[in-house]
Amino acid sequence: MNPPLPSPRLFCRTVLCALGLLIAANAWASSRAAKPAPQAKPAPVRYGDAPAALALADQIAQQQGLDAAWVRRHIGAAQRLPSVARLMLPAPQGTPKNWAAYRARFIEPVRLAAGQRFWAAHRDALARAEAEYGVPASLIVGVIGVETLYGQHTGNFRVIDALTTLAVDFPAEHPRAAARQQFFRDELGHYLRLTQQQGLDPQALRGSYAGAMGWPQFMPSSWAQFAVDFDGNGRIDLFNSPVDVIGSVANYFKAYGWQPGQPTHYPVAFDAVKLDKDALLAPDILPSFSVESFGAKGAVLEGPALQHTGKLALIELQNGEAPASYLAGTDNFYVVTRYNWSSYYALAVIELGLAVQGLVEGK
């Protein structure tokens, strides 16, 4: 007995459903065919085949007293990082600076809370550093907070890659290309000697795009010159020992001439009749004026600033479209800029440290 035939309505539904599925399948297949296959990432460019890099390796080996084959191997294994070269270029001409916006990046709740915890955890080490080196605890705390948020952001670039890129392929369009490239060649040499002396793998350490390392973001030459074993365990570790970091930052400032007890800056106003702002700003951040010569050019000081016995500089901090801010920087303000050659950086470090100190002391 033959099975009953489906009704015409059911038959139509079945055919239409099949056709719909067929059309959908064809459309899916077409879209898959039209979509380009994902492109493979370009293979990393390493320096093992670059004659200039290998010649530099031989030069570094001779200068630093290192085995030439060892230096060639590590520089040859370094990867070229075009992004690092781009990051070295200065901001385009005419880019406005803004102290208020810059300050807000660092004097903010997350960093203040982290600084308060750091100070509480390392109160004894901070007090010892201040006593031994004469550098205020607030300044040490300010530097570490601005540099790495108390060790939370120490950099993700392999140091060997960053330094080799900048030593071999520093961007020629930089206004100080020759001097900056030589600086990074020297730093690459210091880095290789440092890692060999401390038994560290040159391929493993990570830092900033400029090759700065650890909680205080020391360049290799600074690590070699200023880092100290402040926790007394027989080795210097700026990646994992906050106590070594505290002592090393204090030692850095002392070595650059920090004067205990001297303020970093004073408030300043202007006498519109005598003001010669161009002359006051000409030395930039280098203290060049006595209190008397400062006043003679129209800079007005009050209170303790009038008793200052060292030199002063007029520091200008632009605020975008708003009027600029000004202060009278002392020799100690200039010392802070030896960590980073920027008056904006220096004042952010100073103000962050003082703000954290106020929280710690309940002020």
- Active-site pick, 108, 130, 132, 147: 147
Residue type at position 145: G
φ, ψ (nearest 5 deg) of residue 334: -65, -35
| % the chain with pLDDT above 70 | 88
- Residues 58 and 184 grouped into a single domain: yes
Q: Which of 103, 121, 132 is nearest to 249 (CA)?
A: 132
Domain that holds residue 204: 48-89+152-236
229: domain CATH number is: 1.10.8.350
Q: Is 245 within the bounds of a domain?
A: no
Residues 171 and 61 in one domain: yes
Q: Tell whether 230 and 295 lie within a shared domain.
A: no
Indicate if 193 and 272 belong to the same structural domain: no
| Residue 196 burial (10 A CB sphere; 0-12, 13-18, 19+) | middle
Same domain, 66 and 194: yes
pLDDT band at 42 (very low <50, low <70, confident <90, very high): low
Integer Cα distance of 347 and 329 in angstroms: 10
- Residue 157 sits in the same domain as residue 280: no
82 and 207, same structural domain? yes
199-257 pLDDT, tens per residue? Answer: 999 999 999 999 999 999 999 999 999 999 999 999 999 999 999 999 999 999 999 99
Residue 113 resides in a domain: no
Domain boundary among the residues 197, 221, 236 is at 236
Whether the CB-CB separation of 146 and 106 falls below 8 Å is answered with yes
Mean pLDDT in residue range 156-181: 96
The last residue of one of the domains, among 215, 236, 257, is 236
Look up the CATH number of the domain holding residue 304.
Answer: 1.10.530.10
Model confidence at 37, pLDDT cuts 50, 70, 90, reads low
Indicate if the pLDDT at residue 19 is higher than 60: no
Average pLDDT, the chain: 90
Which pTM value belongs to this model? 0.87
Does one domain contain both 202 and 321?
no
* In a domain? residue 215: yes
- Has 147 been annotated as catalytic? yes
pLDDT in tens, 126-143: 999 999 999 999 999 999
pLDDT for the residue 361: 94
One domain for residues 174 and 300: no
Question: How many domains in the chain?
Answer: 2
